[in-house]
Structure 1
Amino acid sequence: MIAHVSIEAEQPESVARTLARLMGGEALPFPPCDGAWIAFAAADDGTAVEVYPQGARVMRGPETIAFEQTEAAAGPSATHVAIGSPLSAEEIIEIGQAEGWTTRSTDRGPFGCIELWIEDRVLIELLDPAMQEDYRRNMTVAGWRAMFGM
């Protein structure tokens, strides 16, 4: 289980609100880091995406984590996450396009997803209910070995 993940955004509140909508949940401020927000999934089981201001860094503090604001890195990142959504593929695409973000349906091989590029910089792979079933069925050790002949 991955309980939560964090990403950076130029507009953390807007991004968190959109992610919460896509997950059927709610977005709230994230007080440990100035300007950060958190998007909770509808299940309200702790599944969440923390959205930090671009350039924020999590540092080792003397007793616990600390946050530092640095110069924002330009361009896309290798960091991405796949998130299940209660919405249909069409609804997901509509929301992404309304934000002005590149949003498209794609086939990853073992599963299909909707690529949603937050601020056209951070990749979120969204899975509608049918895509989630394919993901659970095919993204296993046995499925991976079979797909790649290992």
Structure 2
Amino acid sequence: MSLLHLSISADTPEEVAAFLAHVMGGVALPFPPFPDCWIAFAEQDDGTAIEVYPTTHVLEAGPDQLACEIRDRDAGPPFAHVAVCARLKRSKIVDLAEERGWLARICNRGPCECVEVWLENRLLVEFLDAQMQRDYRAGMTAENWAAMFGLAR
């Protein structure tokens, strides 16, 4: 299984999409299907992307397909996060986030480290540089997970 794309919300969708694209080595472009939305494509340009919607937009089941509605802003932090492969080194990711005033730090997640970035200081994205990605893939298996937490398999 591979993640193809995901959607997140932001107060400043263009800025967040530009940051994400930069860290993933790709490009950010407008997302014309919905107003004021952006999409960050990853470097490999194989469809891997993150759509960024304004916090005032919500997705709903329309009569025939997905619909985007504009509502009052949901001020609460989301209960969601994503881990993303980064093309930049961990120190550069931290620097870029801190330039925007966003919390960024290197954290140990057990089988690997990650760069924890809080986009707009509200949405968690874990970025993994090349070494972190290797450690993640080696350590993040069902067998290792069960052993780490003493779970029966």
Give the TM-score normalised by the residue count of structure 2: 0.95
Determine what percentage of the aligned residue pairs are the same residue.
Answer: 48
Aligned match of 1:91: 92
Aligned match of 1:49: 50
Aligned match of 1:6: 7
Looking at structure 2, the residues matched to 36 and 148 of structure 1 have their Cα atoms a distance apart, in angstroms, of: 40
Equivalences for 1:53-64 in 2 at 5 Å? 53-64=54-65
Which amino acid letter does the alignment assign opposite residue 125 of structure 2?
A: I
Aligned match of 2:71: 70
Deviation at 1:55? 2.4
Looking at structure 2, the residues matched to 17 and 36 of structure 1 have their Cα atoms a distance apart, in angstroms, of: 12
Deviation at 1:75? 3.1
Deviation at 1:32? 1.2
Aligned match of 1:118: 119
Looking at structure 2, the residues matched to 45 and 125 of structure 1 have their Cα atoms a distance apart, in angstroms, of: 21
Which amino acid letter does the alignment assign opposite residue 7 of structure 2?
A: S
Aligned match of 1:25: 26
Looking at structure 2, the residues matched to 136 and 120 of structure 1 have their Cα atoms a distance apart, in angstroms, of: 28
Looking at structure 1, the residues matched to 28 and 22 of structure 2 have their Cα atoms a distance apart, in angstroms, of: 8
Superposed CA RMSD: 0.8
4+ runs deviating over 4 angstroms: none
> How many residue pairs align between the two structures?
150
> Which has the larger displacement, 62-71 or 112-121?
62-71
